Amino acid sequence: MSAKMDLVLWRHAEAEAGEPDEGRRLTAKGDKQARRAAEWLHAHLPDSARILVSPALRAQQTAQALAELSHRKFKTVEALAPGASAEDVLRAVDWPYSRATVVVVGHQPTLGEVASLLLAGRPLPWTVKKAGIWWLQARERDGASQVALRAVVNPDLL
């Protein structure tokens, strides 16, 4: 790994309960959470960032808040659907080899497992709050590969 890669894990905002799981919509609170998180991301993401989104409606609606604000397009990726493994996510984003900043809009427990795998070396049941953002960076320092945690943003602080 010679180039750095930034991976932004963004959990979907609050959604209604119900079935089918993939068709659950954001609540009014979830809409507000998604907009606030999108505003923060818009202010911090490079223009070249790619946005990859779970096919679940709640993730699509969360990503749409950023798309509308920033006029960015996003790509729906089946490998990010509910129930995906941490390894599925890392393959989908080409970690740590992509030269782009990649935003993943997805689900728990997968996103917490991705963060723990990269930071602690194994998938653990870490919690990413609804509409929460974890920003990680793969980099090389003194010839060694490292993962740095650049930011954790909780929606209730936005």
Question: Mean pLDDT, the chain, as a whole number?
Answer: 95
* Residue appearing with tokens 């890669």: 5
In this predicted structure, the answer to whether residue 142 has a pLDDT above a threshold of 50 is yes
The bridge status of strand 133-141 relative to strand 144-153 is antiparallel
Distance (Å, rounded) from C-alpha 44 to C-alpha 13? 19
Top pLDDT among 139 and 124 is at 124
For 106-138, the pLDDT digits (tens) are 999 999 999 999 999 999 999 999 999 999 999
pLDDT class of 17 with cuts at 50, 70, 90 = very high
Mean pLDDT of 83-87: 97
pLDDT class of 141 with cuts at 50, 70, 90 = confident
C-alpha dist (Å) from residue 141 to 120, 134, 144, 145, 146: 18, 21, 5, 7, 7
- End-to-end, the C-alpha distance of the chain in Å comes to 34
In this predicted structure, the answer to whether residue 34 has a pLDDT above a threshold of 90 is yes
- C-beta of residue 38 within 8 angstroms of C-beta of residue 69: yes
Mean pLDDT of 66-91: 97
User: Domain map of the chain by residue range?
Assistant: 5-157
Instruction: Please give the biggest Cα pair distance in the chain.
Output: 50
Using a pLDDT cut of 70, give the percent of the chain over it: 98
pLDDT class of 2 with cuts at 50, 70, 90 = very low
Q: pLDDT value at position 99? A: 87
Question: Would you give the DSSP letter of residue 82?
Answer: T
Distance (Å, rounded) from C-alpha 56 to C-alpha 39? 22
What CATH topology corresponds to 5-157?
Answer: Rossmann fold (3.40.50)
Please state whether the predicted TM-score (pTM) of the whole model is above 0.85.
yes
In this predicted structure, the answer to whether residue 62 has a pLDDT above a threshold of 50 is yes
- C-beta of residue 99 within 8 angstroms of C-beta of residue 82: no
72 alpha carbon, distance to own chain's centre: 15
Distance (Å, rounded) from C-alpha 122 to C-alpha 75? 28
Q: Which amino acid is at 20?
A: P
